[in-house]
């Protein structure tokens, strides 16, 4: 999937987005914390994956460390001292995580299991598997996989509700199967016309871009950040 154009599809950033919070537009402490909790909950998998396969923690230790890491961020209201021009969420989380893990390895600020009264919910927790490697590389790999898989799942659900399952079938076969097919070959395999394959693929790609833009806008700082993240995601898939 190499079509990374996004045209004029950008929309205003959500009121609870990283950008909006970072720029001080959310001042109510309760609303602010709930927004930050939601933001972190959306992207805990890359942090877990980094701890598990980048820092070689066991599954249970990694799960506990994710909760402690996020609780610590929330208790410090971590965005207060960040400069907006340096506030890209993915870069920030990687840097904060590295700092946390280095402190833990030195024994500073270590929290024993059960040492905190509060817990950070890891909704829908499931064991994540990826190749071990350098922490930053593992983080980016899981981040990419998490965003793309969740967007593709939403795309399928949206097209099924709209009674357009063939649109999703075309995208899965042509863009996601890893096979190099012509429109004619895809049409024959799916029992569709070549014209339908072209049209369905165009529509599904456009809708997927919209879904990705919305999801990226939850954490991106500005429109250029959205464009860069979208190019990175679609160009890597």
Going residue by residue through the chain, which has 237 residues, state the pLDDT in tens, using 9 for 90 and above.
444 344 445 554 555 566 666 666 667 777 777 777 777 777 788 999 999 999 999 988 888 888 888 888 877 766 665 555 555 678 888 888 998 888 887 765 454 444 454 566 676 666 778 888 999 999 999 999 889 999 999 999 999 999 999 999 999 999 999 999 999 999 999 999 999 999 999 999 999 999 998 888 877 777 888 888 888 887 765
pTM for the full model? 0.76
Assess contact for 130 and 138: CB atoms under 8 A. Answer: yes
> C-alpha distances in angstroms, 206 versus 178, 200, 211?
20, 10, 9
Exposed/middle/buried for 232, CB within 10 Å: 0-12, 13-18, 19+?
Answer: middle
């Amino acid at each position: 999937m190499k079509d990374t154009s996004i045209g004029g599809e950008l929309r205003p950033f959500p009121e609870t987005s990283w950008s909006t919070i970072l720029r001080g537009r959310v001042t109510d402490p309760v609303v602010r914390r709930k927004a930050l909790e939601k933001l972190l909950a959306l992207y805990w998998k890359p942090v877990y994956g980094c701890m598990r396969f980048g820092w070689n923690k066991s599954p249970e230790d990694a799960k506990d460390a994710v909760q402690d890491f996020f609780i610590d961020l929330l208790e410090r209201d971590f965005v207060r001292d960040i400069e907006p021009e340096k506030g890209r969420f993915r870069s920030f989380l990687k840097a904060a995580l590295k700092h946390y893990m280095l402190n833990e390895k030195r024994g500073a600020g270590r929290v024993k299991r059960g040492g905190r009264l509060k817990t950070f919910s890891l909704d829908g927790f499931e064991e994540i598997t990826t190749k071990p490697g350098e922490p930053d590389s593992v983080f980016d790999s899981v981040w990419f996989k998490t965003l793309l898989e969740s967007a593709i799942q939403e795309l399928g659900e949206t097209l099924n509700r709209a009674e357009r399952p063939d649109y999703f079938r075309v995208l899965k076969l042509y863009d996601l199967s890893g096979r190099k097919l012509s429109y004619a070959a895809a049409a024959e395999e799916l029992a569709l016309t070549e014209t339908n394959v072209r049209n369905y693929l165009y529509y599904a790609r456009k809708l997927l871009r919209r879904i990705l833009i919305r999801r990226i806008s939850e954490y991106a700082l500005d429109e250029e950040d959205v464009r860069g993240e979208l190019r990175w995601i679609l160009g890597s898939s």
